[in-house]
Structure 1
Amino acid sequence: MKKNIPLAVILVIMLMTFHISYSQTKKTEITLTKLWETDTILKTAEAVRYHPGKDIIYVSNIGGLPPNKKDGDGYISLLSKNGKIVKHDWVTGIHAPKGLNFFNGKLFVGDIDTVVEIDVETGKIENKHPITNAVFINDLDIDTNGDIYVTDSQDEKIFKLVNDESSLWLDLKGFYPNGILVEDNRILILSSSKGELITIDKITKEKTVLASGVRGGDGIVPINEGYILSAFQGEIYFADKNMLNTPAIKLLDTRANKLNAADMSFIPKENILLVPTFYGNTVVAYKLDYK
């Protein structure tokens, strides 16, 4: 038996369908407003990481150039959340520290061909983990079980460090991997040459392009809506997590001010993006807002 559907019900269904369609297609609009910038006493600031438990920002300083020289003049600095230098030379004697992250009370730092392990409480270097066949470790991230993944930008590979044993995880010839972000089932890699942000399945190692157009790609920061990406020459982009193989949206361009944008970090509760400026020898904080 055929039933007639009331006009009011049809209108409600149409409005719900429109709302769902609009929500799926509406683009996230993000703005960045500068909050503070440190004094220029940092030396080739390459990466930052915010530690929520200590409310402190950790900065890796390469020191003198080139960034692959084993000269022992690299160091780690500590900053407060308002950009004040808490300890300029908290850890010294590292060659050219770059990517860094925390796990179980330790700070792990990529240093050319080694991952340096530092006790967060004492600032003491407790171990140095050589990465076999690594040439230029750039960034690193750590899985929830403590496995460490590092990008080798020069030799175009990803290595994995487990229980002090390193191994080749994936060869990425032609991609020049730089930024890395480890998620539950996949790993995100940002290319410094192709301008692509790709996802790699941890099991199958199948690759998917998430975003493009970030030439000189450097750092990856996850936010609720997707990812903030930095381009070394001084640009910052947004990639929507619900979009595949689409151009990233430029949020900021500091090239005219000769400020680079290297390996960033984020303070989630306050929506603050932290950007090391490399040759600018500073860290800059931006407030992330939505239109």
Structure 2
Amino acid sequence: MKNTKLKTLTHSLTSVLSLSAITLVSHSFASQSIASQSIESTKLKPVWEVSGFKMPESVVYDSQRQQYYVANINDNPMSADGNGSIGLIKQEGKSSVIEWVKGLSSPKGLEIKGNKLYVADVHELVVINLDDANIIARYPAPKAKVLNGIAISDSGQVFVSDWAGNALYQLQDGELVNWLESAKLESPNGLFVNQDYLYIAAWGANIQADFTTLTSGNLKRVAINKGAQVPQTSKVESLGDKASWQNLDGLHAYQESNWLTTDFLKGQLLNMNSQGDIETIYKLEPGSADFYYREDKDLVIVPYFMSNKVVAYKLDK
């Protein structure tokens, strides 16, 4: 099953990026390194697990309703094929609905604001009313290649990353506009707003057909102006010295100044300091995607893209 998924991913990525096909080998998810990793890995203890999802890429927690939403890509992650969905997990893993909301294509990043669930779905931002599970809005971005991560500021600014297009989009006056485009973004994936900055988990530059990259990913940030439109003078800042090779996916603030982020290819949860340097490595499985961190219970909820499951782990500080 995993080999079949890898071939599908390779074909779809080759099409999106106009790459020549690269032969997939058994070590496609093996770790790459530009320096020896000196930090000892720690294994997380699972608390609950729900299987049966369809290539889950992202999960988010709804504290008001005390339930989780899961993005089911279901086949080609780059295709607007209409067979994607949003799943639901209740009672801390005891109850689930695999396809709670249908009518999406290849949904990825999820974020909640009020009674609305925002979904990054290939070439559009989809909004779902959480009170009745109906899709209430679609904001197209036809020039985007693969919309991926989402972050919403306290003031309501909605940001969406274009992973394969090296761009950040923003919802402005009912339109999803290209807010910032730069090669310095290096394949932006997970997003998180913290005070006056939009933080970015970069996958790495020059994505190849097997999802590896020619440069390591790292944390980045962009200053955001609460009342602004396009940031004409904004600079993309890089954090961390890329002392270890990583392809970053999900991103969440942790404790006072640290960050949690996943390395999708290696299958790791990384605890990074404010400078973007790794302090702790937690072992996961390859395909660990856009997770959610529950600060109230110290739980990390991880969607496993390759094995069709969502697992909650207790984070040992």
Q: Please state which band the TM-score falls in when normalised by the shorter chain.
A: 0.7 to 0.9
CA distance in 2, matches of 1:181, 1:156: 17
- Distance (Å, rounded) in 2 between the aligned partners of 1:279 and 1:132: 28
Map of 2:288 onto structure 1: 261
- 8 Å contact kept, 2:120–2:148: yes
Q: Deviating runs (4+, > 6 A) in structure 1?
A: none
1:239 maps to 2:261:
no
Q: Does 1:51 pair with 2:80?
A: no
- Whichever residue aligns with residue 240 of structure 1, its letter is N
Q: Deviations over 1:40-85 (max 9, x none)?
A: x100000000111111011000012x21112211111110252234
Specify the alignment match of 1:152 in structure 2.
162
Tell me which of 183, 187, 193 is aligned to 1:176: 187
Query: Which of 223, 234, 250 is the equivalent residue of 1:201?
Result: 223
Q: How does the TM-score come out when normalised to structure 1? A: 0.82
Cα distance change of structure 1 residues 229 and 245 upon mapping to structure 2, 3 Å threshold: closer
Cα distance in 1 between the residues matched to 2:220 and 2:54: 31
Contact kept, 8 Å, 1:187 with 1:202, in 2: the verdict is yes
- The Cα of 1:215 is off from its aligned counterpart by 1.5
Matched AA of 2:261: L
1:97-112 matched pairs, under 5 angstroms: 97-112=107-122
Distance 1:245 1:74, change over 3 A: closer
- Which whole-Å deviations, capped at 9, do the CAs of 1:112-153 have from their partners, x for residues lacking one? 010011000100001111125211101111122222111101
Contact 1:48 1:58 in 2 (8 A): yes
Q: Aligned to 1:90, which of 100, 105, 108?
A: 100
How far residue 254 of structure 1 moved from its aligned partner, in angstroms, is 3.2
Q: Distance in 2 between matches of 1:30 and 1:253?
A: 6
SS at match of 1:98: strand
3-state SS in 1 of match to 2:183: coil
Show the counterpart of 1:74: 84
> Using the alignment, how far apart are the partners of 2:91 and 2:57 within structure 1?
18
- Which range moved further: 81-90 or 280-289? 81-90
SS at match of 1:82: helix
Asked whether the 8 Å contact 2:43–2:283 carries over to 1, the reply is: no
User: Between Structure 1 and Structure 2, whose CA radius of gyration is higher?
Assistant: 1
In 1, the alpha carbon distance for the partners of 2:125 and 2:301 equals: 23
- Give the secondary structure class of the aligned counterpart of 2:296: helix
State the 1:261 CA deviation.
0.8
Unmatched 5+ stretches in structure 2: 1-40, 205-215, 226-232
Equivalent position to 1:282, from 304, 309, 312: 309
Q: Percent identity?
A: 28
Paired residue secondary structure (2:108):
coil
Shift of 1:250: 4.3
Paired with 2:132 and 2:42, the residues of 1 have a C-alpha distance of: 38
CA drift of 1:164 comes to 1.2
C-alpha displacement of 1:209: 2.6
Equivalent of residue 252 in structure 1, options 277, 282, 285: 282
CA RMSD of aligned residues (A): 2.0
| Contact 1:230–1:262 under 8 Å retained in 2 | yes
Query: CA contact under 8 A between 1:115 and 1:128: conserved in structure 2?
Result: yes
TM-score, normalised to structure 2, is 0.76
Confirm or deny: 8 A CA contact 2:42 2:282 kept in the other structure: no
Structure 1 Cα separation of the partners of residues 118 and 104 of structure 2: 12
Runs of 5+ consecutive residues of structure 1 not aligned to the other structure: 1-28
Match runs of 1:119-134 below 5 Å: 119-134=129-144
In structure 2, C-alpha distance between the alignment counterparts of 1:223 and 1:171, rounded to whole Å:
28
Specify the alignment match of 1:6 in structure 2: none
Report the equivalent of 1:216. Answer: 247
Question: Is contact 2:83–2:106 with CA below 8 Å preserved after alignment?
Answer: yes
Whether contact under 8 Å (2:59, 2:290) holds in the other structure is yes
The offset of 1:197, in angstroms, is: 0.3
Partner of 1:270: 297
Asked whether the 8 Å contact 1:131–1:161 carries over to 2, the reply is no
